[in-house]
Amino acid sequence: MRNVKSTARRKNSEAIDAVSRALSQHLHRRGWIERFRAALGMSITDLAAKAGLDRSVVSRAEQREKDGNITIKQIDKIAEAMGGKLVYAIIPKEGRVEDLVMEQARKKASRVVRRTRAHMALEAQSEGLQSQEDAIEELASEMAREMARGFWR
């Protein structure tokens, strides 16, 4: 069962990372409605007519998209009117999905290693241990691979 879960997680990560790479170079302040409309050479008036909306509604929709105050349903309706379709994605702010997993694993591993080393130091058992950074990295890799229950807490 673990193998099926890790394969599914890997495939999902690869898909998200591919979309992230493709989109990251095209993200900027201009909204997708305005960008697609401009690529078509379509005016706001033409789009409004095709969508069965008032020109001011389309203009406000473009602004609301830039402000982050538009619904998926609204974008979908306007995209449809332009002969497009809405594609929705959640991608990492930076890097890859695996980077987010490792960041979480390092946080958890750091707490475990620091707590363990503090106890060992109290008992004078810290001699000969690998470096704290190496111990954290090794434990983090194992935690990321295992993804035990409570990993994201």
Name the residue among 64, 145, 69, 151 with its Cα closest to residue 108: 151
> What mean pLDDT, rounded, does the chain reach?
89
* Residues contacting residue 91 through CB under 8 Å, at least 6 positions apart: 16, 19, 20, 23, 24
Q: Are 81 and 55 in contact (CB under 8 A)?
A: no
CA angle 88, 72, 43 (to 5 degrees): 100
pLDDT band at 2 (very low <50, low <70, confident <90, very high): low
Whether the pLDDT of residue 127 is over 80: the answer is: no
Assign 113 to helix, strand or coil: helix
User: Is domain 2-81 in CATH 1.10.390, yes or no?
Assistant: no
Q: Which two tokens stand for residue 63?
A: 């602004």
Give the lowest-confidence range in 9-18, 43-52, 82-91, 129-138.
129-138
Q: Which of 8-12, 78-82, 129-133 has the lowest mean pLDDT?
A: 129-133
* Higher pLDDT pick, 124 / 33: 33
**Sequence ranges of the domains in the chain:** 2-81, 97-146
Which residues are CB-contacts of 129 (< 8 A; sequence separation ≥ 6)?
117, 120, 135
91/100 Cα distance (integer angstroms): 11
* Structure confidence at residue 24 (pLDDT): 77
CA distance between the termini of the chain = 22
Report whether pLDDT(29) > 80: no
Confidence at residue 110, expressed as pLDDT on a 0 to 100 scale: 94
Answer whether 0.75 is exceeded by the pTM.
no
The per-residue pLDDT for range 53-71, each reduced to its tens digit, is 999 999 999 999 999 999 9
